[in-house]
Amino acid sequence: MSVLIAPSILAADFANLEKDSKMLNNSKADWFHIDIMDGVFVPNISFGMPVLKAIQKHAQKPLDVHLMIVDPDRYIETFAKLGAKILTVHQEACNHLHRTIQNIKSYGMKAGVALNPHTPISVLDSIINDVDLVCIMSVNPGFGGQSFIEKTYDKVRELKLLIKKNDSNCLIEIDGGVTNKNASKLISCGADVLVAGSYVFKANNPQENILLLKNQ
């Protein structure tokens, strides 16, 4: 399987979401990555349900929704109704992670778990066969445009070993500071999905940069 590219809408032009959505539809991108932030779990607020509903109207590719919020269980049904195909929650935000994962799946969505930079891969030991995707944060969550954390490569390798050891079908997603300069190494370490925000939307030719990532 070639690497999947999921441009992060957080870096898009919020005044022209229809235009940027159509650009992604016509590009080699695979998913729309959408960060929902509450200003509590992370020190920023992004956008909520009305904006996601507007994006969903124009998106012709799966919505990969990343919840950076406390108590995400409150909104699982809502995000299912808004068209999320993949719903990712933070391990650090869930008191009963297994229950949350099962709840996500009960609504027909793929279930993802995100790990902050300080969180060890070992927290997934007992749940790796229950999740469809693990999102490794390669920056501290909450803001776009941050520098890539080099320790991420080791975490990807460790996660890949855990997946193989348990014969899991889980995908590895990398979120934060992804560019053409680190994409190839991330893929060689085991990454399956690359989230890219500024590298795509701040480029003179976003579709070309998506293609550069896709062809690593």
* Whether 175 is catalytic: yes
Catalytic residue among 30, 38, 132, 175: 175
Catalytic residue among 20, 30, 35, 64: 35
Q: How far apart are CA 133 and CA 4, in angstroms?
A: 12
Structure tokens belonging to residue 131: 């999740």
What is the chain's alpha carbon radius of gyration, rounded to the nearest angstrom?
Answer: 16
The DSSP string of 26-62 is TSS---EEEEEEBSSSSS-B---HHHHHHHHHH--S-
Plot region of 33 (φ>0 → left; ψ -120 to 50 → alpha; else → beta): beta
Write the CA distances from 114 to 18, 132, 144, 148, integer angstroms. 28, 11, 16, 16
* Whether 154 is catalytic: no
Structure tokens belonging to residue 162: 């855990």
Chain length of the chain: 216
Which residues, including other chains, have CB under 8 Å from residue 18's CB and lie 6 or more apart? 54, 58
CA atoms within 13 Å, Cβ hemisphere of 111 = 22
* Catalytic positions: 35, 175
